[in-house]
Structure formats: C-alpha cells, structure tokens
Structure 1
Amino acid sequence: MSLKAEESIVLSSFKLKIADISDVELAKLHALSITVGWPHRAEDWEMLRDLGHGIVALDEIGRALGTAMWFPYGPDFATIGMVITSPRLQAYGAGRWMMEHVLAQAGPRDFGLNATRAARRLYLSMGFTATKTVYQCQGEAVAPEPAPPAGASLRDVGPADLAELAALDRNAYGVDRLELLARLLEVSKGVALMRRGQIRAFALCRRFGRGHVIGPVVAETDEDAIAVIRPHVAGHAGRFLRLDTRQQTGAFPEFLARSGLQIFDTVTSMWLDRPLTVGEGKPGGKHLLTYALASQTLG
C-alpha cells in the first residue's frame, strides 16, 4: 500500500509528516514506545512490522512522535494496534489523524482493536463499538501442582502442526490467521492437548516485553485451557509471565490468579462494522474459544 510522503499536519508548534513504518529505524519506534511506558522490545517491533502495515508521524527533524498499524486477516478483517502518540501531542488530535490514515490505507473491511482507557473515547467517536473487557494478567509465575488432563495427553507442537492449529484458531477466532500462527510458531514453544489422535486445544508461549507471554490459547473448556497453559506456567516459575484474556470468571481466571498472574490492567475490545465479536467461537453447545489473545495488538 503506497503512502503520500508529503502528507503533513501542523499541530501546535509541531509539523508532522506521514512515513511508512517499514522505512523507519527500529530504534526510533522502540524509543517512542518507551516514552509511553509500553513494554515492547525492538525484537517485538520487528515481528509486528513483519506481520502488518502502518504509518509513523515524524517531526521536522525526523523524530517518531506517533505510530499506528493494521494487521490483515484475510480480505475482510484486520486488527488495529500500536496506536501511540507522544505525550506532547495527545491533546492536539494526532491520534485521530493517524487513525484516519490507517483506515484509509487498509481499505473497506471490518476492524477490531483493544483500546486503552485513554484512547477509548477517540475510538467511540470514530464509530467503534465497545464489547468485551480484556484482562491483562501478569506477574512472577508460581509453579502449579502437576495435574495430567483426564482422558487426554499433552505434546509439543511445531511448524508441522500449522494447518491443524490454524483450523482450530479459525473456528475459535472467526477469521483465518494462518500467516500469524506460522510466524508465531517460529518464535514460540507450543503445547497441544490430544484426544483420539487429534489436537483439541493448544497454547503458544514466546518472549515478549519484560519476560514471556502466553497466547494464543484455544480450547473448548476451562479445564482444557488450563491443561495447555500449565506447562508454560511451570516452565517460567519465578519469572515474569503475562497472559491477556477475556475470561472474567470461572476456573481459568482462578487458575491464573493462583499461578501469580494477577490482573494488572484492562483494555476494551472494540469493533468497527463487524456484527459479531471474534474469539467467541460458534453459538450453541460446546465450541472452541480464544482463551488468551496472541497479544492486545494482534487479537
């Protein structure tokens, strides 16, 4: 998608121009996220640039003062994330200006995002609808008691399992994220729950921010979701671990709390034009759910 590099805006005493995010040094992006207290490492930024598209707002001397990205999942849906505005510009409309560029760049499709409290009003004003709360659970992991899953077994997963994992994820999330899962499998350790020779639940875990993050997690029941994250929690006992979930009550969030992953913050899942919330599986009876997001940016 091409950008008009000459597009610019004057905000207070700042003159900003738009640049493609792939053309800006990682160090500048990393420095911007640090200024707003986001945990992303340069390596996390690099993976996001590999997976998505986006823009950077640069001042007259080339400093990055804002970013916004979008991540396509098929032709009809994308998530929006990494919408960052330098604190000096947050009161001058830079966030809306960048969002308008991203929506235009992505073209006609449905959109989802996870909004911080500070950005929620902006997205509501742009037509997004608030739906679910996402609970950011994190802390020093506490090793759980061993508990083999009844009537099932666990095994590691890898690139050879991509098609099966993508099918489960598509059932739970509602759109095809095969390319995302392929990239995540390159940098993640995966655990699958097996019944009758088939994968029925899985959880990936990778380096991110201050430590590691578990996600996505796909399962039919709380018990299955706990079974596939238990090895990740045990493997990171005593270290920083994070998981983002929309599950508010039940055995799954209770297990997270016992495992040292307390609620640290919340964001709001919001959708533009899409009639159904992704990640909630199919209506009626047992169905697969997205128990943990890949990340707040990636959904």
Structure 2
Amino acid sequence: MGKSVRVKSFELVTRDISDVDLNLLHGLSTAVGWPHRLADWDFLRNIGHGIVAVDGIGRVFGSAMWFPQGEDFATIGLVITSPRTQAQGAGRWLMDQVIERCACRNLSLNSTKAAFQLYLSLGFTHEATTFLHRGIVSGLPFPPSPDAALCELPADQLAEVMACDMRAFGYDRSRVLALLSEIAVTCVLRRNDKVVGYAMRRPFGGLHVIGPIVADSDEDAIQLASWHFQALQGQAARIDTREATGPFTEFLAQCGLSVEQTALTMSKGRRFLNRIAAEPWVYGLAGHALS
C-alpha cells in the first residue's frame, strides 16, 4: 500500500494501477461519463504507469496515470475522481504523487475545464485548446495529391516514420508508437520517396480514433485523414486536434465530424508545443492521455 489520506468519511490509500481489477477501473470512468472500454483501460495500463485511490474494502475512488515518452518527458492522463470525492482534495493528492514520481521529467496533459484551476495551482501552464471532433463519417474522400503516395505501413516498418514524428512531437515517443501500431492501421504519406506524414487508426470508446496524424501541412493532413475515412464510411470516428480553424477542420466538418467538446493542453517544465513553419506538426492527437 502507498500513501493515505482521509477524504470525507473515506480513508484512502494508493495502490499500483496494475494491481487493480480492470472492471473497477472501468466502473470509475463510466461513473464520470468517460468512454473508455475495458480494452482501452487494459491497453493504457500496459503502455504507462499509474496509481489508484482505494478504501479499506478495495473500492476505487480515483486514478492517475503517466506515460513516459523519451528520457525527460511524460504525458499525464486518466486523472479521475469518483463523484463522491470530487472537489474534496483527492485529485490534488493523486497529482502530487504523480508529479513526485515524474520529478525529472517535463510534463503535459489535456485538462477538462473542471480540473483547469487545479492544474494551474500545481504549476501547469495553459498552451492550447484541443477540439474533439466526432461523428458518422460521410461525404466524398479528398482527392489524392498527384505528387504524393499514400499506402498502409506494416507495424514492423514503423521505424520509417520515427524521424518525422520526432520533429513534430518534440520528444522520442517510439515506444508508445510501437505499442499503438500493434492495434492500429497506419497510413504513410511519401513525397519523392521521403516520409512526410503518417496517421494511425484504432478502436477506442466504441468508435474509431484517427491519431496521431503528423503532416507538414493542412493539405497533407487531409490526405491522411481521407485515406482512413475511405474505410470508415457510415461509421463513427473521432479526431482530436489543436487546429481551431483552417482547411483541416473544415474538411472534418464536411466529412461529418463536428466539435463535441474541448480540453485544455497544459505543460509543466519545458514548453510542450513548439510549432515551426514548414516542419511536421501533430494535426491529430494519439489520445488525450498520450497527446
């Protein structure tokens, strides 16, 4: 058992998330309206680290996870407190422990509006807004560019996209991408035999998430999203992006994906988002927990 705290009438202690029944984690996220399936929890638990707040009889009252990406960076996600302990200090208690365990790393997370003030008080800085686009894929796919080639990339060839991703994301997340590729379909965009972008598609929360999407321009990001949309006509899809306006977001709307909610991208330590003109950029997130 880890550290303990009293929240209202509950005496809570922390346990490693790997020691907790998946059904209890699923029940926690369901209680706050989050879409994670058992399979999503299982995947994220295998890809990262986490702690869970439990009482003396094993009931789960909160969770928090972190995902190391490279040597000096981690994303934080799945920070959940049950409705009975929200606004009672359990979230801060869990976050204090996560920050302590990630002491040598720069951090980033995507905050709900409700948790925004908590993260500000913990030293996080607001950098951008993330827009969750979701809907039933419809409409005609974007016509392919004559000077670029799109094709599916086998998981064992993922090394081809790593340099492009590193330039866009800013950190080495090769381990995370390798694990994602095992459950995802990956499309790669080449121009003059050079990889200039890629996009993954995987099941999540009862629909298909397209992300990460990494490209040099809106037009290339559209090409990549369109490749996946061709396989998803009539099905529910989701793309999370920090693009507020422009051709990419207009294309998503034309294909039936509208903004359903937003999150706030925040960082602690080195600034996370550093967009450079004519360089690859993350147009679609891998996920709120993975960024």
Does the TM-score normalized on the shorter chain lie above 0.5? yes
Does residue 247 of structure 1 match 2:243? Answer: yes
SS, match of residue 231 in structure 1: helix
Match of 2:278 in 1: 286
Match of 1:180 in 2: 176
Give, in angstroms, the shift of residue 190 of structure 1.
Answer: 1.1
Find the aligned partners of 1:161 and 1:195 in 2 and give their Cα distance.
17
Does residue 211 of structure 1 match 2:216? Answer: no
The answer for unaligned runs of 5 or more in structure 1 is: none
CA deviations 1:86-137 (Å, max 9, x no partner) are 0110121000000011111223211000000010010001110001000000
Give, in angstroms, the shift of residue 161 of structure 1.
Answer: 2.4
Match of 2:90 in 1: 94
Find the aligned partners of 1:208 and 1:34 in 2 and give their Cα distance.
14
CA deviations 1:29-50 (Å, max 9, x no partner) are 0111000000011111111111
Match of 1:21 in 2: 17
Q: RMSD in angstroms over aligned alpha carbons?
A: 1.1
Match of 2:167 in 1: 171
Match of 1:35 in 2: 31
Match of 2:66 in 1: 70
Number of residue-to-residue matches in the alignment: 291
Q: Normalising to structure 1: TM-score of the pair?
A: 0.95
| Partners of 1:143 and 1:259 within 8 A in 2 | yes
Give, in angstroms, the shift of residue 197 of structure 1.
Answer: 1.5
1:192-271 paired onto structure 2 within 5 Å: 192-271=188-267
Match of 2:272 in 1: 277
Give, in angstroms, the shift of residue 233 of structure 1.
Answer: 1.4
CA change 1:199–1:32 in 2 (3 A) is same
Does residue 296 of structure 1 match 2:288? Answer: yes
Moved more, 177-186 or 102-111: 102-111
Match for residue 85 of structure 1 among 65, 81, 88: 81
Moved more, 142-151 or 22-31: 142-151
Find the aligned partners of 2:127 and 2:262 in 1 and give their Cα distance.
13
SS, match of residue 95 in structure 1: helix
The one-letter code sitting in structure 1 at the alignment partner of 2:126 is A
Q: Normalising to structure 2: TM-score of the pair?
A: 0.97
Identity of aligned residues (%): 46
Find the aligned partners of 1:216 and 1:245 in 2 and give their Cα distance.
9
Match of 1:126 in 2: 122
Runs of 4+ in 1 over 2 A off after TM superposition: 143-146
Find the aligned partners of 1:37 and 1:233 in 2 and give their Cα distance.
27
The answer for unaligned runs of 5 or more in structure 2 is: none
Match for residue 108 of structure 2 among 83, 88, 112: 112
Find the aligned partners of 2:141 and 2:13 in 1 and give their Cα distance.
54
| Partners of 1:142 and 1:234 within 8 A in 2 | no
| Partners of 1:56 and 1:66 within 8 A in 2 | yes
The one-letter code sitting in structure 2 at the alignment partner of 1:165 is V
Find the aligned partners of 1:292 and 1:86 in 2 and give their Cα distance.
29
The one-letter code sitting in structure 2 at the alignment partner of 1:198 is K
Match of 2:8 in 1: 12
Find the aligned partners of 1:65 and 1:231 in 2 and give their Cα distance.
41
Moved more, 15-24 or 159-168: 159-168
SS, match of residue 252 in structure 2: helix
The one-letter code sitting in structure 2 at the alignment partner of 1:237 is Q
Does residue 156 of structure 1 match 2:152? Answer: yes
